[in-house]
Structure 1
């Protein structure tokens, strides 16, 4: 049940939009929402802010297309922080949007965050591009049937722009057209990425979750991950098993070889082992000594470089002494 609220710090210029208080139990997450909402330090800070000042920016919702209640378009983190704080209802702007408008508004509101994981960008860009293409196709179907079109190459799109931030006003408006840009070019201009980088991110959606998680944790480079995405699902699971067992990560050259072997139907577990066990150009055998074992022997003001020089000097002296002993024994 929505309670009207006369006073609200946020504004909206969407015709027919309504602002009110909605019970949290009536809110449903957006279907296939690509952005992670975790109870981490950032959400804890948001929770504390909400406890002290309340929710300054209302959530953006629409009536749930799959049943009762409302579907969140923007404000998943605010909802979770409020729930964590024990709040039962939140302010929300209730708008009427079709699925593609809702997807675009949902993604635009989240892309304003400072830190976005590669996996979040991957699925967000894919969803937004699909929504843009569908909008373009609908416009093409409603135009002059005698006029030649090439929808896959170039579309004009009426977009719903959403300017939603944690501490700002909510402004939602329909723009005119995308100006005749290809849909992927238009998306690239919106998010400040190159078309090539957009394609790379979308390609990451072909990865199995375990390997995509490695990209998010910065264990696997994006360009290497793109090459790996061309492997079959079964091959990716085998590759992940080898990476975990051998504690090794393929570089771009090795990832490209894995891709080519897969395309030639020649990739199996043995081939994966062979490729990953190759010595990389920058890979050298190293001896690692925990600092807590040797740190106490260095002067407090010694830099890591000075420590390495001293170790090398002492080892040279030790080797020289051993050589002298060997000579004396021979005599």
Structure 2
């Protein structure tokens, strides 16, 4: 049994509250490690260099959030970009709030703080949504199952994925589609980030096996081509039926897409003066074709003489 000390007996309510209140501490950068599997990329790009310049002039205006590590030092929860900017600015310390958080509380805080950013890559959203959803399911006291939504109900009967959707302003279905991207092999996921593959085809591709995705990646590189949504859906269906091979991938990927067919465009301003004002674009097109057919037949007759 622990006895109350003399200092504690005469301690005021104000001093007790002051002890419990979180304080901002200047912590050496060398003592702060990154969050494990941090899904948000910290790049030394132009925005980061501008941030570093701001840190040089004004310092860190908003303290980072860290938690203590069992083996000493601290783990960054929110503030990875501020830490990088501090390093580039030549600082040795940065202001931090130290908060005691469980693993799942730390995951939720880390994801929530980063989702406030203006620009977030699809891969960052995908990994962050998955990490937070798994943490929410564990906090709800239910087992976390891969891509399952039938776990983690709260007292109101809502599933974790529905609560997450409400928090981030996404539908339940869209949350699940983002999480599907975590099934992509890293090179294809990077192509999604770089907008070389659209989001919807990428979701369909995520259902392919790792071997099939690798074969698809090789074909995309060789042909300098990526699948459309309909092609990706066919790849997924054939994969699920066990009929997808490297040859089939090549055949589908090298098909001519409707939007790849050559088009001949004429500026409307050049031809509008030849048509009545009430003519629709379809009527103009039909008349042009008729005139071209008439001209073509006339030329044929002249050549036959």
TM interval, short-chain normalised: 0.7 to 0.9
Matches within 5 A, 1:265-284: 265-284=242-261
Q: Contact 1:60–1:75 (CA<8 Å) still a contact in 2?
A: yes
Structure 2 residue aligned with 1:254: 231
Are residues 1:136 and 2:167 paired?
no
Q: Contact 2:201–2:229 (CA<8 Å) still a contact in 1?
A: yes
User: Which is higher, the Rg of structure 1 or of structure 2?
Assistant: 2
Change (3 A) 1:208 1:234: same
How far 1:307 moved relative to its partner? 9.4
Are residues 1:125 and 2:126 paired?
no
How far 1:304 moved relative to its partner? 7.6
Q: 1:62 aligns with which of 57, 63, 67?
A: 67
Q: 1:243 aligns with which of 220, 231, 255?
A: 220
**Matched pairs, number:** 263
Are residues 1:215 and 2:185 paired?
no
Matches within 5 A, 1:143-158: 152-153=150-151, 155-156=153-154
How far 1:246 moved relative to its partner? 0.5
Change (3 A) 1:305 1:96: farther
How far 1:44 moved relative to its partner? 1.4
Once residues 235 and 207 of structure 1 are traced to their aligned partners in structure 2, the CA distance between those partners, rounded to angstroms, is 11
Structure 1 residue aligned with 2:99: 95
TM-score, length of structure 2 as denominator length: 0.77
- What stretches of structure 2 of length at least 5 have no aligned partner? 1-17, 144-148, 273-294
TM-score, length of structure 1 as denominator length: 0.72
Once residues 268 and 308 of structure 1 are traced to their aligned partners in structure 2, the CA distance between those partners, rounded to angstroms, is 50
Q: 1:83 aligns with which of 79, 84, 87?
A: 87
Once residues 124 and 259 of structure 1 are traced to their aligned partners in structure 2, the CA distance between those partners, rounded to angstroms, is 25
Structure 1 residue aligned with 2:14: none
How far 1:15 moved relative to its partner? 4.6
- Greater helix fraction, Structure 1 or Structure 2: 2
Moved segments of 4+, more than 4 Å: 13-16, 303-309
How far 1:180 moved relative to its partner? 3.5
- What stretches of structure 1 of length at least 5 have no aligned partner? 1-12, 140-150, 157-177, 288-302, 310-319
Once residues 14 and 286 of structure 1 are traced to their aligned partners in structure 2, the CA distance between those partners, rounded to angstroms, is 73
Q: Contact 2:141–2:152 (CA<8 Å) still a contact in 1?
A: no
Structure 2 residue aligned with 1:20: 25
Once residues 75 and 19 of structure 2 are traced to their aligned partners in structure 1, the CA distance between those partners, rounded to angstroms, is 17
How far 1:220 moved relative to its partner? 1.1
> What do you get for the CA RMSD once the two structures are aligned?
3.1
Structure 1 residue aligned with 2:76: 72
Q: Contact 1:28–1:72 (CA<8 Å) still a contact in 2?
A: yes
Q: Contact 2:138–2:152 (CA<8 Å) still a contact in 1?
A: no
Change (3 A) 1:227 1:50: same
Once residues 113 and 86 of structure 1 are traced to their aligned partners in structure 2, the CA distance between those partners, rounded to angstroms, is 25
1:155 is paired with a residue whose SS is coil
Structure 1 residue aligned with 2:284: none
Q: Deviations over 1:7-38 (max 9, x none)?
A: xxxxxx99553321100111100000000000
Q: Contact 2:39–2:124 (CA<8 Å) still a contact in 1?
A: yes
How far 1:277 moved relative to its partner? 1.3
Structure 1 window deviating more from structure 2 (218-227 vs 122-131): it is: 218-227
Once residues 121 and 268 of structure 1 are traced to their aligned partners in structure 2, the CA distance between those partners, rounded to angstroms, is 31
Once residues 306 and 244 of structure 1 are traced to their aligned partners in structure 2, the CA distance between those partners, rounded to angstroms, is 41
Q: Contact 2:238–2:244 (CA<8 Å) still a contact in 1?
A: yes
